[in-house]
């Protein structure tokens, strides 16, 4: 199955998240098969990232959004972790600092956009400024309403001026699954640090966040920066869908190995042959 088609938010369309099952998993695939396929897609990601780095003609931005415990960190670890960290950055956008608040809302984000040849992952992103800001009424409605268009313009700028491929993933979980994951954090000493009182307080605003996300997905999914709604109650299926979408998208970029910057025949004849000869003489002296 082509998950890009299955989970794409068509530009200009409207959707209701309660019509999309967070527990969806393809019927004809088992967890073991899904994990094996995920490994294959991750291997392709490794190769595609290497080609992206070598070509240095474009970049990749992956935006991860979702409610608390949706699996953003897990996605970074199990899928994006297949990429070489030397060419990858992961940025988490938390509560803006005092300095950041003195600038426009995109100021802190633009600095983390990927350079050509690089991959950037936003674990939460500029979309917090039309989600948290809206739900908690941190700015007037007319202000956050304007931000949809500004965000679309920003992403168009990255796409058209820096040849940035943008993939936006909304990790969709159910309210019951979120509570289950909170319980796991409470019971696991290695994950106690991830739980907070605010996690439970934010659950009280579940419907508000749902409406906010529905507007985000409808107003900012574009042909050059599409949104995908990823069913994420089953982590193994989430990883499969995400790895396939990223791997296939990168393959479709049509990347090519760059041409050598030197005369290979000359290097072989003059430099390589000379280096081999020197090594042979050194080996004979050593013996």
C-alpha to C-alpha distance for 274 and 140, rounded to whole angstroms:
71
The token duo for 168 is 């936006």
Instruction: Using a pLDDT cut of 90, give the percent of the chain over it.
Output: 87
In this predicted structure, what is the pLDDT of residue 45? 97
In this predicted structure, what is the pLDDT of residue 286? 67
C-alpha to C-alpha distance for 202 and 63, rounded to whole angstroms:
21
Q: Which residues pair with 165 in a beta bridge?
A: 60
pLDDT per residue over 138-167, tens digit each?
A: 999 999 999 999 999 999 999 999 999 999
224 CB-side CA count, 13 A: 14
C-alpha to C-alpha distance for 159 and 59, rounded to whole angstroms:
9
C-alpha angle 134-69-224 in degrees, rounded to nearest 5: 60
pLDDT per residue over 223-249, tens digit each?
A: 999 999 999 999 999 999 999 999 999
In this predicted structure, what is the pLDDT of residue 276? 80
Taking residues 64-90, report their average pLDDT.
95
In this predicted structure, what is the pLDDT of residue 171? 98
Say yes or no to pLDDT of 271 above 80.
no
Name the percent of the chain in helix, strand, coil, to the closest 5.
55, 10, 30
Say yes or no to pLDDT of 72 above 90.
yes
In this predicted structure, what is the pLDDT of residue 287? 61
Give pTM, 2 decimals: 0.93
Beta-carbon count within 10 A of 8 CB: 16
């Amino acid at each position: 199955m082509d998950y890009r088609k299955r989970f794409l938010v068509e530009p200009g369309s409207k959707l209701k998240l309660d019509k999309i099952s967070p527990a969806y998993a393809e019927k004809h695939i088992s967890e073991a098969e899904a994990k094996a396929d995920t490994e294959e897609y991750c291997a392709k990601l490794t190769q595609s990232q290497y080609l992206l780095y070598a070509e240095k003609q474009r970049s990749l931005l992956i935006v991860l959004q979702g409610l608390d415990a949706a699996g953003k960190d897990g996605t970074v670890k199990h899928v994006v972790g297949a990429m070489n960290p030397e060419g990858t950055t992961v940025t988490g956008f938390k509560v803006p600092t005092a300095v950041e608040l003195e600038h426009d809302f995109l100021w802190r984000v633009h600095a983390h956009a990927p350079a050509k040849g690089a991959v950037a992952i936003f674990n939460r992103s500029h979309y917090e400024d039309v989600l948290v800001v809206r739900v908690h009424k941190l700015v007037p409605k007319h202000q956050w309403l304007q931000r949809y268009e500004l965000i679309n313009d920003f992403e168009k700028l990255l796409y058209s001026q820096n040849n940035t491929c943008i993939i936006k993933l909304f990790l969709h979980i159910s309210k019951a699954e979120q509570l289950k994951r909170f319980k796991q954090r409470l019971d696991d000493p290695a994950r106690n640090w991830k739980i907070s009182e605010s996690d439970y307080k934010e659950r009280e605003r579940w419907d508000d966040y749902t409406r906010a996300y529905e507007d985000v997905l409808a107003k900012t999914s574009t042909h050059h920066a599409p949104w995908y709604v990823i069913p994420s109650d089953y982590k193994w299926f989430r990883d499969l869908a995400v790895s396939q979408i990223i791997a296939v998208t990168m393959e479709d970029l049509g990347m090519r190995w760059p041409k050598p910057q030197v005369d290979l025949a000359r290097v072989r004849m003059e430099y390589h042959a000379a280096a081999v000869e020197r090594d042979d003489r050194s080996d004979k002296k050593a013996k």
